Structure formats: structure tokens, C-alpha cells
């Protein structure tokens, strides 16, 4: 499986879509930085703190990781390379696991790249953090990276299960959108700006479950649960999508 994983990693790195995704991350963060800098300089007339610009990536992470992993994994089907792997004697399980690891790797790389840009901008062009200590800053990025890896695994698993059907794009991006909207709603109910949380019973448990164990919601708010909850949430999504995807892919007929 490792030789296949190595080949897949090489493919990701040489892929144009991967470089475009990195470019989008850089442009988005720099663009955000320029806008905020202008606001601070011309309107607020104060020095800019790092909190404002350090965590802009998580707001696009779910969409970006989903879109990039869907596109790159889907190409394996559209250009016939997944077919070629099977013909060349690569076992289905190996091909699937390697693709899922590739998706996780992409999530990790995008997140790490965003972290590097964010750190450079925060250190070089701001007065420093107001609300975050260094461990909190590191913890936020670690949770973001884990969430991106889990989302990468999930969307890759979906492409492999749907066998390159454009349905995987629709479901993947729709799911990212729906979860984003749901999370906004859930967070608003759990942590209202005014007053206290009014939820009780099952509804409170469901909302807390979404907030605590669904990786998409980790990208909405700074970490506020224990680290184990995030590990369980991300690990759970990776395991469930891998196991379900593997069962589907192993019984699937390729064209």
C-alpha cells in the first residue's frame, strides 16, 4: 500500500489543482489582511492585533478542502487512472486507503500552509495577540488541521464511493454548505450574543453533539472543548467514512 500512497502523494503534489488551492489560500489570507489593515489605518486609526487576521483560513477551510479533494480525487476516475490501478494489480482496499490518506494529507498541507502565512503576517505586520496565548494559538491551528484532514478523508471517500460521479461534487459541497449554515444556527442557539442558552433536553444534547463532535463546526469557533473531544470527532468522521467507503468501493463495479 505504501508504494501506492507514495505514487498518490506524488500525483497530488504535481497536480495543478493542488497548487491552485494553495494559491487561493494565500490570496484569500493576504486579501483579508489588506482589507483589515486598511480598516484599522483609515477608520479605526489604531494598531491591528493578530487575532483579527490569524484565523481567516478556517472560514473557507471546509469549502476549500472539500472542493480541492473532490476535484483531485475525481480526476482519478475521469482520466481512467483508478481503472489503470486495478488493471495493474493494485488491490481495491489499498487504492481506497491510499486515496483517503491522500485526502487527509491535502487537508493537512492546506492547513499548514495557511498557518505559515498567518504566522508570518501576524508576527510581521501586527502588534501581537490580544486574546490568545501561544498554546491557544497552537491548539486552534491543531484543531483546524485535524478538522481539515477529517473533511479531506470524508470527501475523498465520497468520490471513491460514488465512482467519479458528479453527484459527489453536489453532495460534498452541499453538505459543507448545509453544515456551515447549521453550525451557525447551532452556535447561535448555544452561545447567544444576548442572554443565556435557552435550550434544554434532547435539543440541547443534539446541538451540543454537533458543536462537539462534528468536525465542520470546529472551523466555526475557537476551540472550547477538551482536546479529546476534537480527536474523537475527527477520528470518528475518518473511521466512519473510511469503513463505509471501503465497503462500497470493494463491491463497486468500475467502468
Partner 1 sequence: MEYVFKTNGISKKYGKFTALSDVNMEIPKGAIYGFVGKNGAGKTTLIRVMTGLQRPTEGSYELMGKANNDKDIAKVRRRMGAVVESPAIYMDMSARDNLIQQCLMLGLPDFKCVDEILELVGLANTGKKKARNFSLGMRQRLGIGVALCGSPDFVVLDEPINGLDPQGIIEVRELILKLNRERGITFLISSHILDELAKVATNYGFIDKGHIVRQMTSKELADECRKSVRMKVSDVGILSKILEEKSLDYKVVDSNTADVYAELTFSDVAKDFEQAGCKIINMQERDESLEAFYLSLLGGSEDVQKSVC
Contact residues for partner 1, defined by CB under 8 A = 3-4, 6-7, 10-11, 14-17, 75, 79-81, 83-91, 253-255
Q: What minimum distance in Å lies between the beta carbon of 253 and partner 1?
A: 4
Q: What minimum distance in Å lies between the beta carbon of 71 and partner 1?
A: 12
Please tell me the distance from the alpha carbon of residue 153 to that of residue 38, in angstroms, as a whole number.
38
Phi-psi region of 80 (alpha: psi -120 to 50; beta: other; left: phi over 0): left
Q: What minimum distance in Å lies between the beta carbon of 75 and partner 1?
A: 8
Please provide residue 133's backbone torsions phi and psi, each rounded to the nearest 5 degrees: -90, 170
Residues in CB range of 78: below 8 A, 6 or more apart: 164
The DSSP secondary structure of 101-116, one letter per residue, reads HHHHHHHHHHHHHHHH
Instruction: Choose between 161 and 241: whose C-beta lies nearer to partner 1.
Output: 161
Instruction: Choose between 14 and 124: whose C-beta lies nearer to partner 1.
Output: 14
Instruction: Choose between 2 and 43: whose C-beta lies nearer to partner 1.
Output: 2
Phi-psi region of 196 (alpha: psi -120 to 50; beta: other; left: phi over 0): beta
Instruction: Choose between 77 and 230: whose C-beta lies nearer to partner 1.
Output: 77
Instruction: Choose between 138 and 247: whose C-beta lies nearer to partner 1.
Output: 247
Residue 175, all three cell numbers:
453538505
Q: What minimum distance in Å lies between the beta carbon of 184 and partner 1?
A: 36
Please tell me the distance from the alpha carbon of residue 27 to that of residue 76, in angstroms, as a whole number.
27
Please tell me the distance from the alpha carbon of residue 201 to that of residue 203, in angstroms, as a whole number.
6
Please tell me the distance from the alpha carbon of residue 60 to that of residue 54, in angstroms, as a whole number.
13
Instruction: Choose between 86 and 127: whose C-beta lies nearer to partner 1.
Output: 86
Q: What minimum distance in Å lies between the beta carbon of 90 and partner 1?
A: 6
Please tell me the distance from the alpha carbon of residue 217 to that of residue 211, in angstroms, as a whole number.
6
Instruction: Choose between 90 and 150: whose C-beta lies nearer to partner 1.
Output: 90
Q: What minimum distance in Å lies between the beta carbon of 21 and partner 1?
A: 13
Q: Determine the Cα angle at 106 with ends 186 and 2, to 5°.
A: 130
Q: What minimum distance in Å lies between the beta carbon of 10 and partner 1?
A: 7
Amino acid at each position: 500500500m505504501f508504494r501506492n500512497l507514495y505514487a498518490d502523494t506524488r500525483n497530488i503534489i504535481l497536480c495543478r489543482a493542488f497548487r491552485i488551492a494553495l494559491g487561493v489560500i494565500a490570496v484569500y489570507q493576504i486579501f483579508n489582511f489588506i482589507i483589515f489593515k486598511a480598516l484599522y489605518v483609515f477608520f479605526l486609526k489604531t494598531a491591528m492585533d493578530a487575532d483579527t487576521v490569524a484565523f481567516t483560513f478556517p472560514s473557507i477551510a471546509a469549502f476549500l478542502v472539500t472542493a480541492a479533494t473532490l476535484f483531485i480525487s475525481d480526476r482519478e476516475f475521469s482520466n481512467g487512472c483508478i481503472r489503470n490501478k486495478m488493471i495493474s494489480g493494485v488491490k481495491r482496499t489499498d487504492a481506497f486507503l491510499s486515496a483517503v490518506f491522500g485526502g487527509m494529507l491535502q487537508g493537512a498541507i492546506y492547513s499548514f500552509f495557511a498557518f505559515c502565512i498567518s504566522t508570518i503576517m501576524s508576527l510581521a505586520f501586527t502588534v501581537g495577540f490580544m486574546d490568545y496565548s501561544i498554546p491557544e494559538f497552537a491548539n486552534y491551528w491543531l484543531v483546524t488541521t485535524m478538522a481539515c484532514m477529517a473533511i479531506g478523508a470524508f470527501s475523498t471517500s465520497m468520490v471513491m464511493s460514488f465512482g467519479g460521479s458528479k453527484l459527489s461534487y453536489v453532495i460534498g459541497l452541499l453538505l459543507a454548505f448545509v453544515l456551515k449554515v447549521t453550525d451557525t444556527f447551532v452556535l447561535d442557539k448555544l452561545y447567544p450574543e444576548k442572554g443565556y442558552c435557552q435550550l434544554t433536553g434532547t435539543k440541547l444534547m443534539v446541538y451540543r453533539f454537533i458543536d462537539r463532535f462534528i468536525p465542520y463546526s470546529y472551523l466555526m469557533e475557537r476551540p472550547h472543548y477538551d482536546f479529546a473531544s476534537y480527536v474523537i470527532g475527527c477520528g470518528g468522521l475518518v473511521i466512519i467514512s473510511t469503513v463505509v467507503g471501503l465497503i462500497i468501493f470493494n463491491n463497486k463495479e468500475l467502468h
